[in-house]
Amino acid sequence: MMAKNVYIRYVIAISMAIMIAFSAVAEAENLAEADSGSSQQSSSASQKKLTPYEILRRSKLQRAAEKTPENFSAGPVIAEARLTTVPVSRDSPTGLLAMQRQDTTLVRPPELQEQPADAPKEPVYFVVRVGDRDIHGITYRSISPNGLVKLYLDTDGDGLFSNEKEYLGTWLSIFQLTRTYRFGPVSTQKAGTGTKGGSFYADCSNGQWLTFDPVSYRRGKVVLEGKAYEIALVDTDFDGKYNKYFVPPAADSRDPQCDVLAIDLNGDSKFNFEQPGESEIMPLSRLIEIKGQYYSMDVADDGGTIEFRQARPQFGTLSLEGKQAKLALWSDAACQQLSGSGKNWNLPAGKYAVVTMDLTETDSAGDRWAFKMTKAGAGKLGDFEIKPGQTTSFRIGPPFQTRSFMDNGEGNVLVGFDLKGQAGERYVPGATKNGKEVPEPQFKIIDSYGKVANSGQFEFR
Ligand SMILES: [Ca+2]
Ligand SMILES: [Ca+2]
Ligand SMILES: [Ca+2]
């Protein structure tokens, strides 16, 4: 009875017009509150006035480094990988989980006390996440006759750019649609100190956002049980160290906010990447499972060596109450790929984040509906713990709540919606029924007088 109700509701949702009676502003505010509510319940009122840039910065500053108990025992070192530094090339394992993107702002952050003398009235400010700290930066076209495009980082956090290195941008003409400048390699080493830092290329498009990419990575081989594996480490958070392990939650399924490990498990000399989680490129964790055997990995600060030991984890159980699902998990214990129906999974104790999930539901008419989780929509599944000898259980999937959202920027109104499952997990609207895509739902925007202000059809993306 329950299940039938669910599908009736879903069918209604997709076949009838969804009435969205609200003002765009009110909905945007609700959404901002709902999104920040899960991690920062106490400050939602004060956050209402913050810009997305400020919310982003604040959430990062509040992210605390956690020390996880080691829920495993490990024997002596059985293998050591030696890794050398190699430049990034097209087949490097760096492009998929290692790119950081940050929006810019025209408002000078209070931490910055000055701007360079040749900066225009409204230069562009940004932050870049480096290890556990955020570094402020500025980029602009110089008002001096040479008109050079420049970038500075406040690496020592003293609010001054005058004691920092200047980087000049070169125009990347391969990007035709946006005017993109590349800076770097930019060093994150603190000005005036001998402490080693990391480095990145910073690309700036139209001044609205920057992307940061590694310049190099570490690569070598390890022999386990007589088999050699190509292995690589990426200093994804640009702090010059290669051993920041994953701690849930991830920013999204492309941004684990830690360093990254790649291992050529299938021996085809490539680091394969199907989709986040189902791949040979993963966030760095304490353990790795290879052919049913767990190994612990101790990574040297500089990424030059990884020591492998045979490990015996303590196990706990994950239950999705019998649902048919295929999911990938990132963990501080060991990354996992799971699938099945009507079963529970034994996992090494540790902290986990589900990064991809395909859920299949069969309704009373025998139709099979497949739902795919969104990139940053794991809800409660995005941060949970498996404890030794205990079962962690989630009720997921329908009945769904549909949630619409609007993004009103630069005169365009973007309307979207997704489906929210019982654990707060979100699914993209493009569900399939018996393997076929269902028609796109329609929407109407009703203004405050009840008139239809706009209407259209959702496009699946
Ligand atoms: Ca400085
Ligand atoms: Ca690092
Ligand atoms: Ca491979």
The tens-digit pLDDT sequence of the chain (461 residues) is 344 443 433 433 333 333 332 233 333 333 333 333 333 333 344 445 666 566 655 554 444 444 455 789 999 999 999 999 999 988 788 878 878 899 999 999 999 999 999 999 999 999 999 998 999 999 999 999 999 999 999 999 999 999 999 999 999 876 666 788 999 999 999 988 877 899 999 999 888 999 999 999 999 999 999 999 999 999 999 999 999 999 999 988 888 999 999 999 999 999 988 766 668 999 999 999 999 999 999 999 999 999 999 999 999 999 999 999 999 999 999 999 999 998 999 999 999 999 999 999 988 889 899 999 988 899 999 999 999 999 999 999 988 888 776 665 555 555 667 789 999 999 987 788 888 887 655 555 444 455 554 555 444 33
Does one domain contain both 84 and 233? yes
Instruction: Report pLDDT for 253.
Output: 86
Does one domain contain both 28 and 77? no
User: Which of 295, 313, 331 corresponds to the end of one domain?
Assistant: 313
Does one domain contain both 365 and 255? no
Ligand 1 mean position to 193 CA, how many Å?
Answer: 12
Does one domain contain both 447 and 338? yes
Ligand 3 mean position to 355 CA, how many Å?
Answer: 21
Nearest ligand to the C-alpha of residue 272?
3
Total structural domains in the chain? 3
Ligand 1 mean position to 183 CA, how many Å?
Answer: 18
Does one domain contain both 306 and 380? no
Ligand 1 mean position to 395 CA, how many Å?
Answer: 49
Ligand 2 mean position to 377 CA, how many Å?
Answer: 26
Ligand 2 mean position to 217 CA, how many Å?
Answer: 11
Does one domain contain both 306 and 330? no
Nearest ligand to the C-alpha of residue 189?
1
Ligand 1 mean position to 160 CA, how many Å?
Answer: 4
Does one domain contain both 309 and 320? no
Does one domain contain both 307 and 322? no
The reply to whether 188 falls in a domain is yes
pTM of the predicted structure, to 2 decimals: 0.77
Does one domain contain both 322 and 451? yes
User: What does the buried/exposed string (b/e) look like for 179-191 if buried means 16 or more CB atoms within 10 Å of the residue's CB?
Assistant: ebbbbbebbbbbb
User: Which of 144, 176, 207 corresponds to the end of one domain?
Assistant: 207
Instruction: Report pLDDT for 176.
Output: 65
Ligand 1 mean position to 170 CA, how many Å?
Answer: 23
The reply to whether 377 falls in a domain is yes
The reply to whether 301 falls in a domain is yes
Ligand 2 mean position to 240 CA, how many Å?
Answer: 6
Ligand 1 mean position to 136 CA, how many Å?
Answer: 9
Containing domain of residue 223, as a range?
72-96+216-313
Does one domain contain both 90 and 236? yes
The reply to whether 135 falls in a domain is yes
The reply to whether 62 falls in a domain is no
Does one domain contain both 276 and 379? no
The reply to whether 412 falls in a domain is yes
Does one domain contain both 17 and 91? no
